[in-house]
Structures are given as C-alpha cells and as structure tokens.
Amino acid sequence: MENTIGTIIGTLGFALAVFIAVRQVQTEIRQKRSDRLIFLADRIFDTTIPRELRLPFYEEYISMKDNGTAVRFWLLEGEREKKEMRKGNEQ
C-alpha cells in the first residue's frame, strides 16, 4: 500500500515538474519574441536611418505576424513621402 502511494505521489511530482518546465520554456520563447519585436520597431521608428535601409526590419516585423503601431507608422510615412514627391513634381 505504501509503495502504491509513493508511486502515485512520485508520478504526480514528475508530471508537475514537466508541466512547470514546459511553461518556463513557453514564457522564455514569448519573451525572446517580444524582445525581437521591440528591437525591430525601434529600427522602423528611427527616421535617422534611410527608409530603404529600414525595409528589412519592417519586413521581418511583418513576417512575425505583428501588425502594430510600427506598421501604421511605416505606411503613413510612405504616404507622406508620396505626397511630398507629387508636390515637388508639380512645382
């Protein structure tokens, strides 16, 4: 009887340890993804870098299936540049 209880408790302890390990890995992956998105967004918002050099950062940001403020900024910036070019061509 004691062996059976010990086996059950050991099995439950092992299952709990595996569950905790899996959750830690998932949290770490989520955190590394979040860190990468922040890095990419910083590059997208950095207007001191020419737009064509920021394009790879934007493309990676999009490929990570994120559609946040950085994407809206990129699109609005592109529209603004198009308007400025049209205005310059009209003069």
State pTM to two decimals: 0.62
Domain that holds residue 78: 2-90
pLDDT per position as a tens digit, 8-51 = 888 988 888 899 999 998 888 888 888 888 899 999 999 899 99
SS3 of 50, please?
coil
- Domains of the chain: total: 1
d(CA 77, CA 89): 18
**pLDDT for 1 beyond 80:** no
Yes or no: say if 54 and 43 are a contact pair by the CB < 8 Å rule: yes
Residue 10 has a pLDDT of 87
